[in-house]
């Protein structure tokens, strides 16, 4: 008889309340091995890959791809590999009780079908007092009739755990060869592991792709570009295509609506000359930090000088931070993500540049860790790369302020009595008036302007 257990929506992080099934990667009743990718689940900010922790099969897939479900919702019924009748599967579905907890793969669901009483078996020898074993393992050993004297514990200091007892209670199985691993089309092509995985999932021939990586290696971006080229043509003029918001887009809409309607915004604007910063950057040999990296450093040092803006607002409490944790807006295909450069005031420009590049890459790939995009004491949004001259940004709660930066464009300025035309940046600071006064915002902009116009201070 097959051992059945539920496969519910897992919970990653305290704030996660729902997830979207982006894609099922295995078919119903198709056996899979340990480590097989089962599904992609999209949360507010990232997409998580769920791997099989043991061989098995989905005897029934309930959740539909593209749909969003609360944490704890039954997504599928999982078997240890054996066949199951429709009545047995229906009984598991009927007996399932949703709960806001992560999936426990080692907790079997009792079989709903009545079973005859087992034959009497000799009781296992009592567990000696000098054996290191957890209370849960001791109880499982008594229930399963397992002799723990021959078990080698995998816990700390050789302690026997509940998993060790479960493993000893399982009947031994003979290994079997499943054949060669299925390669993606063009399996001999020089490609990265992620590119091969994407090519296999989407049936893309790697030998038809020209790699842009070192020595012509095919990268993830090359496969994604081929998929974009193969996408269906845009709708004809006058045709309307309706697509539901993704989980991330709905979260962005909810948070920004809440921020704009509940936070009293006020704005402080200033223009600063950027010619000296651009000249300093041009003189850097080797890998140059981006203009945004300089701005992250400038904001961090300005927050150190004016700490009243380095805050979060939680109801009637103001949380003040000892270090400047700068959240930087990054545009992705699925929406806006704000990875955080922690302790930016204590980092060098080279460190900020390398950290920001890695965070932006993971943000676009949807592989950021929860702690890499939650929190932060200040936000920076730079649309200068899109030619935007000036804009006002919405505060990212619970932070107290966000700086919006436009493109550097030539404008006349007063340079010690002489009129010069130099690149000028337009800055707009959005502040939460519940915790920040205009004078504090003004002092921050003075400090920030001095750092940008005298970039050697960075």
Q: What are the catalytic residues? A: 433
**How far from the centroid of its chain's Cα atoms is residue 124's Cα?**
47
Instruction: For residue 352, give both structure tokens.
Output: 């900020």
C-alpha angle with apex 332: 327 to 335, nearest 5 degrees?
A: 80
Instruction: For residue 316, give both structure tokens.
Output: 């009637």
Taking the C-alpha atoms of residue 404 and residue 428, their distance in angstroms, rounded to an integer, is 5
Task: Return the half-sphere exposure (C-beta side, CA atoms, 13 A cut-off) of residue 121.
Answer: 11
Place of tokens 């996408």: 231
Instruction: For residue 14, give both structure tokens.
Output: 């305290």
- Compute CA distances 404 → 15, 62, 427, 430, whole Å: 27, 45, 6, 8
Phi/psi at 262 (nearest 5 deg)?
A: -115, -15
Q: Could you tell me if 33 and 97 are in contact, meaning their C-beta atoms sit under 8 angstroms apart?
A: no
Residue environment code for 293-319, b if the CB has 16+ CB neighbours within 10 A, otherwise e: bbbbbbbbbbbbbbebbbbbbeeeebe
Total Cβ atoms within 10 A of residue 19: 25
Place of tokens 């270090």: 323
C-alpha angle with apex 303: 410 to 253, nearest 5 degrees?
A: 80
Task: Return the half-sphere exposure (C-beta side, CA atoms, 13 A cut-off) of residue 312.
Answer: 16
Q: Could you tell me if 298 and 458 are in contact, meaning their C-beta atoms sit under 8 angstroms apart?
A: yes
Phi/psi at 114 (nearest 5 deg)?
A: -65, 140
Q: Could you tell me if 247 and 20 are in contact, meaning their C-beta atoms sit under 8 angstroms apart?
A: yes
């Amino acid at each position: 008889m097959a051992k059945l257990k539920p496969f519910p929506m897992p919970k990653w992080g305290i704030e996660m309340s729902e997830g979207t099934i982006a894609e099922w990667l295995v078919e119903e009743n198709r056996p899979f091995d340990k480590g097989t990718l089962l599904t992609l689940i999209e949360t507010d900010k990232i997409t998580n890959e769920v791997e099989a922790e043991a061989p098995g099969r989905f005897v029934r897939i309930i959740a539909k791809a593209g749909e969003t479900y609360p944490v704890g919702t039954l997504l599928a019924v999982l078997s240890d590999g054996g066949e199951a009748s429709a009545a047995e599967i229906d009984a598991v579905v009927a007996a399932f009780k949703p709960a806001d907890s992560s999936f426990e793969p080692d907790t079997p669901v009792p079989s709903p079908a009545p079973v005859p009483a087992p034959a009497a078996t000799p009781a296992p020898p009592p567990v000696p007092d000098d054996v290191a074993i957890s209370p849960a393992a001791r109880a499982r050993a008594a229930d399963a009739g397992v002799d723990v004297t021959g078990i080698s514990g995998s816990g700390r200091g050789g302690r026997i755990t509940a998993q060790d007892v479960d493993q000893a209670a399982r009947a031994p199985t003979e290994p079997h060869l499943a054949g060669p691993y299925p390669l993606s089309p063009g399996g001999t092509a020089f490609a990265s592991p992620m590119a091969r995985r994407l090519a296999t999932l989407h049936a893309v021939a790697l030998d038809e792709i020209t790699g842009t990586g070192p020595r012509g290696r095919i990268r993830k971006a090359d496969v994604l570009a081929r998929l974009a080229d193969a996408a269906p043509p845009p709708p004809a003029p006058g045709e309307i295509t309706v697509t539901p918001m993704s989980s991330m887009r709905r979260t962005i809409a909810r948070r920004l609506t809440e921020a704009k309607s509940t936070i009293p915004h006020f704005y402080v604007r200033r223009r600063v000359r950027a010619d000296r910063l651009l000249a300093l950057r041009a003189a850097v040999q080797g890998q140059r930090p981006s203009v945004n990296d300089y701005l992250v450093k400038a904001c961090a040092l300005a927050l150190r000088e004016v700490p009243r803006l380095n805050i979060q607002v939680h109801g009637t409490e103001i949380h003040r931070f000892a270090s400047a944790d700068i959240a930087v807006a990054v545009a992705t295909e699925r929406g806006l993500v704000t990875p955080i450069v922690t302790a930016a005031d204590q980092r060098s420009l080279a460190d900020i540049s390398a950290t920001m590049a890695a965070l932006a890459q993971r943000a676009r790939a949807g592989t950021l860790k929860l702690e890499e995009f939650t929190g932060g004491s200040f936000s920076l949004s730079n649309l200068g790369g899109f030619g935007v001259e000036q804009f006002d940004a919405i505060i990212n709660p619970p932070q107290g302020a966000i700086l919006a930066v436009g493109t550097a464009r030539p404008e006349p300025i007063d340079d010690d009595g002489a009129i010069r035309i130099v690149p000028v940046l337009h800055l707009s600071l959005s502040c939460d008036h519940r915790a920040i006064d205009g004078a504090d915002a003004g002092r921050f902009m003075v400090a920030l302007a001095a750092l940008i116009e005298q970039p050697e201070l960075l």
